[in-house]
Structure 1
Amino acid sequence: MNVASLPASVLAELARTSPAPAGLTLLRSALHTRRLLLLKALLVRVHRERASVGTGALGRFERSWDLLEQVERHRPAVVRDVLDYPTTGVWLAAALAEPAGPGFDRLLNRLDMVALTAALRCGDPLDLTVETADGLLSLPGVGRLRLPSDRVRIIAGNRTVRFHPDAGRHPAPTVLTLVDGRRGVLAGRGPDWSPVRALPRCTARLDDLDPYRVPVGTAGGSVGTPAGHVDTDHAAWSARWRAAQELLARTDPGRAFEVTRSVRVVVPLVPCGPGHRGATLSAAPGAVLTSLPDEAWGLAETLVHELHHSKLATLHELVPLYGPGRDAVHQVGWRPDPRPIAGVLHGAYAHLALADLWRRAATVEGVPKPWRSDVGQQFDELHDQVGEALAILLESDELTTEGREFAHQMRQHHASLGATPLVAG
């Protein structure tokens, strides 16, 4: 996909933070195209550097690639779903950035789990033996199995999957069952099985298991510390998610639909200090990393804000909105540290979406009074901050032609939000 295939009307809708289906469809297509390009880049690198790749790692990678191709030939939708899962993007980014050596070989082994997940979700008969990392079999988007050995034989047939540690005759007590063959949904049972939990009324997952839910080696870093499975209050997360979705549906039904369709993963973070924190990863569009907010509106705001970082990251990969990084930095109202032009654009876009949500919350009936009062008081300050950032963007020579048009459309939407007095009850 290229600039010529991006209609001006869709670019305008995206710039105005509109949840229109055309924009969402385009971004999902762009995400998949990008994921395929990265996977192909990894294959090319492996072939180019095969002399430096360990024999075992190379053989595993090639077998897994063949398996993935086999599944893709007759169940492309399943393969697409696994490849587009946010943590697959984090793994690919890590693998492509890793220098040749043992670390790169270890990262290549993740393709085993990607291909295996696609094959098991496909439901065809399967009999293969794989090696695990520290006895953990991690199936992206499905769950994790703890095994007594680093080698396991996997036998699938009649919609049932059994695991034989050390390729022995006797299976482990854990069993996976294909409960929905059309969508490729697996469910597990057994003492050593931990599922990736589904969030209510949607296809999104609360993923506190995947080893690539945060970038490799960044636990506790800038994105925060990911919460472990045993430390996550799944009932509290489900209740807060349901309440946030209901609140969004009352406040802005289009935004509620966008969140339901676009957020594939919520990664719970360990709380750090007062309030809660949220983050996104450019390599993992569709994933929102956040600690558990105290109120439903806190989660609703975080989902909208972080989703727009994901949307902009995906759009920029499709249509560059700004040029290569320069040394110039700019002061913005929502952060104490000066930001490069990319940070100004990202912040302005995410805060514009939040301002849109706040205006609706302050004027629509049926929202909680504490939230209505709070956003009514904060809207003007945020609106001014976004306006200042838009002035920086429109005066900058770092935006591309498409980036400048994008910023112009943002400014028009920003002006419309402040066109009438805000009434907070």
Structure 2
Amino acid sequence: MKRHRIPRKVFDALAGGSGGAHAVGYLQVAQYSRRLLLLRGVRDAARAEEPKRARRARQAFALLAEIQELAPEAVETTIRYPTVGAWARDVLVGRGDTGGLAALAAAAAVRAGFPRPIEVPASDGVVVLPSLGRAILPDCNSAVVRPGVARVTAAHGVSVRIPTDPYRDAPGWQGLRRMEAEYHGMAIRLLLDEGDPYRMPGTEVAQTRLSPAELESWRAGMRRAWRLLVRFHWTAAEEVAAAISVVSPLVPHGKEHTSATAHHTFGGIGLSLPPDDHAFAVALAHEVQHTKLGALMDLVPLTRPDDGSRHYAPWRDDPRPINGLLHGAYAHLGVAGYWRRQRAHERGATMMRAHMEFARWRDAAALAAHTLAASGRLTDAGEIFVAEMARTLRAWRREPVPKVALDHARTAAVRHRARWHLRNGMDPAG
């Protein structure tokens, strides 16, 4: 067994808000090991099921191992797919179905061109193959995947062919569609997941697939946001390209754009379509912070167990536990960093917006960092992490901001505190 460690220089770089692709690399390696352990746990959990299901799970796990010997990249790509982590965790806490092991093995077999057929479960006439897409087989509760001929066949005989490029749609097949962008030789390649039931747990995911026009709006917005990140936010762009591989469309909250990251779906984020290029770029910079922190905390606990205490967060309407406050502070450190750099490249009203956003979120993150440091709920490593965050924010708070922008930021902060107090009946300072 290999014990994963984060070098102190990498830890400090992450705590300061960045780290780059180098730091993300440490997190990716550890997350893959975590996935392998989760799958082993699923296999072991299946032993307690009735004999037929236990045998199928055991056979699927053995098939994965056999494919891994012949085509390790096919298995690794499949296991790394974000939804696999959420499904495996659900199995281990008693909510998920071990039959998902068969779907996982089938997806790896299709990638590898491994010839052996495998029976897989279906839900409401849909067979999901993680990392590839889904076959629509009405009135079917199980099917056989035949990777050698790239077909999914239901018991009643209906068959769906998986196209040579599985990310393209075909009759009865809905592939994971691509969103790609490149600028100055730096590329990002994302998949759009609109069908996996584990694509973004705890969020309101869009239930219908994007139309061709909507898909093009997403792709065009992605290209423009990527251009912004590569031109002016090189480290953030590196991290986004390295850490994020899948986007799931979310339902917006009224007129508000929303984004999310789920702890157990490393590599995946959720977004509603951002309203402008900056909002798209900021959403990526924001969610990659959550992605990094969640993966780091799997290796290095930063907070103590929840004791029920709740705290004011300048970006939320509800009181937050320490873990949630730390996540929010770290994400808004990334948001402040985006606007800090962007204000040097804007003119007129957009420049003032950048100054205001920078002032608003640097101060908000600094307030949260102070709350965290005084909470008594951080581990020793957590205290070091928050101290590094605070050091970065102290330096940023010494940077000048035009008075008009600063006044707007402070007014927004005061109004938020007042609304929060009325809503929660608590003193934000406490």
- The normalised TM-score by structure 1 is 0.86
Offset, 1:311: 1.0
Change (3 A) 1:203 1:395: same
| 1:213 paired to 2:199 | yes
C-alpha spacing 1:239/1:66, structure 2 compared with 1 (3 Å): same
Question: Closer, same or farther in 2 for the Cα pair 1:391/1:175, shift >3 Å?
Answer: closer
Give the Cα–Cα distance (whole angstroms) in 2 for the partners of residues 264 and 370 of structure 1: 34
SS of 1:404's partner is helix
Q: 1:175/1:224 Cα in 2 relative to 1: closer, same or farther (>3 Å)?
A: closer
Gaps of 5+ in 1: 180-185
Contact 1:116 1:139 in 2 (8 A): yes
The corresponding residue for 1:390 is 369
Select 1:117's aligned residue among 107, 129, 134: 107
Aligned equivalents of 2:251 and 2:155: distance in 1? 35
Distance 1:253 1:9 in 2: 20
* Contact 1:174–1:188 (Cα < 8 Å) also in 2: no
Match of 2:387 in 1: 408
Corresponding residue SS for 2:384: helix
* In 2, Cα distance between equivalents of 1:370 and 1:227: 37
**Counterparts of 1:84 and 1:133 in 2: how far apart (Å)?**
23
Q: Displacement of 1:197 after TM fit?
A: 0.5
Q: Output the aligned Cα RMSD.
A: 2.3
- Paired letter, 1:71: I
**Does the CA-based 8 Å contact 2:106-2:118 persist in structure 1?**
no
Deviation of 1:248 (Å): 1.1
For the residue of structure 1 that corresponds to 2:147, the secondary structure is: strand
C-alpha contact (below 8 Å) 2:261/2:268 kept by paired residues = yes
Whether 1:130 and 2:130 are equivalent positions in the alignment is: no
One-letter code aligned to 1:271: P
The reply to whether residue 96 of structure 1 matches residue 123 of structure 2 is no
Identify which of 160, 163, 167 aligns with 1:176.
163
Q: Which moved more, 1:142-151 or 1:192-201?
A: 142-151
2:235 maps to 1:235: no
1:67 has 2:46 as partner? no
1:94 & 1:370 partners in 2: Cα distance? 47
Deviation at 1:289, TM superposition (A): 0.9
What code does the residue aligned with 1:191 have?
P
Q: Which runs of 5+ in 2 are unaligned?
A: 182-187, 406-430
Alpha-carbon distance in structure 2 between the residues aligned to 1:112 and 1:188: 23
Aligned counterparts of 2:324 and 2:68: Cα–Cα separation in 1: 38
The answer to whether 1:162 aligns with 2:139 is no
Alpha-carbon deviation of 1:262? 1.1
* Aligned mates of 2:34, 2:312 — CA distance in 1: 32
Aligned length: 395
* Alpha-carbon shift at residue 352 of structure 1 (Å): 0.6
1:143 maps onto 2:133 in alignment:
yes
Partner of 2:180, secondary structure, is coil
Are 2:51 and 1:55 aligned? yes
SS of residue matched to 1:240: helix
C-alpha separation between the residues in 2 aligned to 1:24 and 1:173? Answer: 38
Match of 2:265 among 269, 278, 284: 284
Percent identical pairs in the alignment equals 31
Following superposition, the deviation at residue 403 of structure 1 comes to 0.8
Distance (whole Å) between structure 2 residues aligned to residue 86 and residue 28 of structure 1: 12
TM-score, length of structure 2 as denominator length:
0.85
1:278–1:304: structure 2 CA closer, same or farther, 3 Å change rule?
A: same
Look up the SS of the partner of 1:78 in the other structure: helix
Mapped partners of 1:131, 1:406: distance in 2: 44
Shift in alpha-carbon separation, 1:173–1:86, aligned structure 2, 3 A: closer
Q: Would you identify which runs of 4 or more consecutive aligned residues in structure 1 move more than 6 Å? A: none
Partner of 1:77 in structure 2? Answer: 73
SS, match of residue 413 in structure 1: helix
